[in-house]
Amino acid sequence: MISWTVVALVLITAFANLVGGLIVVRKKWSARSLNYLMAFSAGFLLTIAILDLIPEGLDDASGNAVFILFGFLTVFAFQRILTTHFHFGYETHKEKLSQKTAGLGAFLGMGIHSFFDGVSIVAGFEVSGALGFLVFTAVLLHKIPDGLTISSIILAAFDDRKKAFIASAVLALSTILGGGIVWIVSHTGIAPEGVSESFARMGLSFSAGVFLYVAATDLLPVVNQSENRRIGLFVLLGVIVFYFASSLIGIVGLE
């Protein structure tokens, strides 16, 4: 996989954050449509974390399991300990965000999350083109909801549409920064020979923990709380699409 293609894919996922921010600033999606998207993302994220990221990250390096836990706990710490209020989707209870520190805490947590989105994509391509494309797809699926989430939280906290859009732009820049750091370490000779792949596998393990947390605690609760039974089918659809994408990648020779 040529480097400029990887750069382009990271930029595409970052742009999706901006799209989510623009949707909040300019128009709203229906709650049902957003819930379907989050359910689909949950199924895809869980599947790629369990079937691809974890096996690849632990390949000949079982000690990397600690990075899975570290990734899970890192997002947990930023979103649940340092933040007083956080969830995916449109923020509808403005009174819960009366303190601006809550909005800033959510912003910090999602910034860390976005940083490791970029890490995940580039680390995936360092292992194989097939895995890289799957990680890119998984990240892209939740990037618009990310932009929707942070923009709606900041809009509710500060009542400022400009700040809401800037928040989504910062998430986009965080994604680019995360991918850029992994690329620099892997391609500029900073790391000794053989260290690049080890670093990539540690990144994949950490990303698996992040994906598991996002899917299990941010996305699936939305599915479980919904009275719409069809939303559960979109979780299964995410799993099916993962298998389809994985098979298609193998067919076209990216393995």
Higher pLDDT, 21 or 44: 21
For 233-245, the pLDDT digits (tens) are 999 988 888 888 7
2 has pLDDT over 90: no
Contact partners, residue 156, CB within 8 Å, separation at least 6: 91, 94, 97, 103
Q: How far apart are CA 99 and CA 153, in angstroms?
A: 11
Q: Tell me, what DSSP letter sits at residue 192? A: P
Q: How far apart are CA 20 and CA 149, in angstroms?
A: 8
**Mean pLDDT value of segment 4-28:** 87
pLDDT for position 5: 86
For 122-180, the pLDDT digits (tens) are 888 877 888 888 888 888 877 887 787 788 767 766 778 888 899 999 999 999 999 98
For 41-99, the pLDDT digits (tens) are 788 888 888 988 899 889 888 899 999 999 888 878 876 665 544 444 444 444 444 44
Q: How far apart are CA 147 and CA 161, in angstroms?
A: 13
Q: How far apart are CA 92 and CA 140, in angstroms?
A: 25
**Mean pLDDT value of segment 199-217:** 82
Q: Give the residue from 196, 176, 77 showing the smallest Cα distance to 125.
A: 196
Strands (E), 23-96: none
Strands (E), the chain: none
- How many other CB atoms are there within 10 angstroms of residue 37's CB atom? 21
pLDDT for position 105: 60
15 has pLDDT over 90: yes
Q: Give the residue from 185, 195, 213, 203 showing the smallest Cα distance to 64.
A: 203
Q: How far apart are CA 74 and CA 66, in angstroms?
A: 12
**Mean pLDDT value of segment 99-119:** 71
Question: Residue for token digits 């000779």?
Answer: 189
pLDDT for position 195: 61
pTM, full prediction: 0.66
Contact partners, residue 93, CB within 8 Å, separation at least 6: none
147 CB-side CA count, 13 A: 29
pLDDT for position 191: 57
**Mean pLDDT value of segment 189-203:** 67
pLDDT for position 14: 95
pLDDT for position 208: 87
Structure tokens at 97: 């965000």
Structure tokens at 73: 């706990």
Q: Give the residue from 152, 86, 84 showing the smallest Cα distance to 113.
A: 86
